[in-house]
Homo-oligomer: A and B are copies of this chain.
Amino acid sequence: MEIWFSENQTGNFGIKARVKSVLLHEFSPFQEITVYDTFEFGRMLVLDKAVMFTDKNEFVYHEMLGLVPVFAHAGPENILIIGGGDGGAVRECLKNPRVKHIDLVEIDKRVVEVSEEFFPLIASMLKDERVRVIAEDGIEFLKRFNAAYDIILIDSTDPVGPAEGLFKRDFYESAASALKDDGIFVAQTESPFFNANLIRDINMILRELYSKTYLYLASIPVYPGGLWSFTAGSKAYDPRFVNRAYEGFDFSAEGLGLRYYSPEVHSSSFVLPNFVGEILK
C-alpha cells in the first residue's frame, strides 16, 4: 500500500510526497495542522494543506530568513519575529552572538507546541532565556511599539487565512514604526514564478518605507516551483552584504551548523535572474 500527500500549490500545479504515517491531524482555532512522516523528507509540517517545511530541507528557509538580516545589521540586539512559531527563525537568529533578545509573536500557540513535540531540532531554542514566546496576533502586538526593534522578521504562511493581514500596507507601516530608524525589516514574499504580482505590490510598498529595499532568493524544494523570495528593507544598512562589523567572524559551516548560508551566498542571493528583476520594475 502506498499513501501519498499531495499539495495543489497553484490550482494547476503541485507536489506529492509518499507518506509513512500521519503523526498529527487537528484543527486549532486558526488552522488545520498536520504532521506527516514522509519517506523522502522525514517529518513534514502542513498548515491548511500547504507544506511549511520538512526535516530534510527546513534549513534553507530558516537560514536565509534569519541570517541575512542579523548579519547585515551591525548590532541586532532586539529582534521581533511575527509568525514562525516553529522556532526555526529563532534558532538561526541566535547564531549571531550580538542578538540579546527575541520576541516571537505567533498567533497560534498550537504551532509552537506541535513544533516542540514533533520538530525538536527546529524548536530547539524556543526555551532559551533570550527568547520570549507570545501567543498573540502580530498585527495587534505591533501597534504597541515604536522604534523598539533592530530587526523585524515576518515568518508567515501564505496570504490566505490567518496570515492575510500580514501582506497589507497597514501592517507594513505598523512594522516600520516599530522598527528602530536603522533597523532591518525582512518578510517572506512567496514565489517569483507564481506570485509575481504579490511580489511587485509588496516591493512597491516597502520601497516607500525603506530607501534600501531588495529582493533575495533561496531554493526550497517543497515550495511552489522550488524558488522562494524574501524582501529586505532598511533606511540605514544595505541588506545585500554582511556588515563589516563581522570581519573576522567565523562563518565556517562546522561552528554554526550552516548548511545553506555563507557570506558569499548572502550576497549572491540578491543577484536576480532577469525575469525576477522584471517583476520589480
Contact = CB atoms under 8 A, between A and B. Distances in A.
B268 A271 contact: yes
Q: Which of A59, A217, A258, A259 has most B Cβ within 10 Å? A: A259
Contacts of A261: 273-274
A259 B271 contact: no
Interface stretch (A15-23, A104-112, A144-152, A169-177): A15-23
A110 to B, nearest CB: 27
B17 A16 contact: no
A264 B267 CA distance: 12
A14 interface: yes
A121 to B, nearest CB: 16
Nearest to A259: B275
A265 interface: yes
Interface in A248-281: 253, 258-262, 264-265, 267-268, 271-275, 278
A271 B260 contact: no
Chain copies in complex: 2
- Interface majority SS (helix, strand, loop, mixed), chain A: mixed
A111 to B, nearest CB: 24
A57 B268 contact: no
Q: Which of A6, A11, A268, A278 has most B Cβ within 10 Å? A: A268
Interface stretch (A34-42, A129-137, A179-187, A199-207): A34-42
16 contacts: A10-B40, A12-B38, A13-B40, A14-B15, A14-B17, A15-B16, A219-B273, A221-B225, A225-B226, A258-B274, A260-B273, A262-B273, A262-B274, A265-B272, A265-B274, A267-B271
Contacts of A271: 264-265, 267-268
Given A260-B275, A268-B271, A12 B6 contact: no
B18 A16 contact: no
A27 interface: no
A221 to B, nearest CB: 4
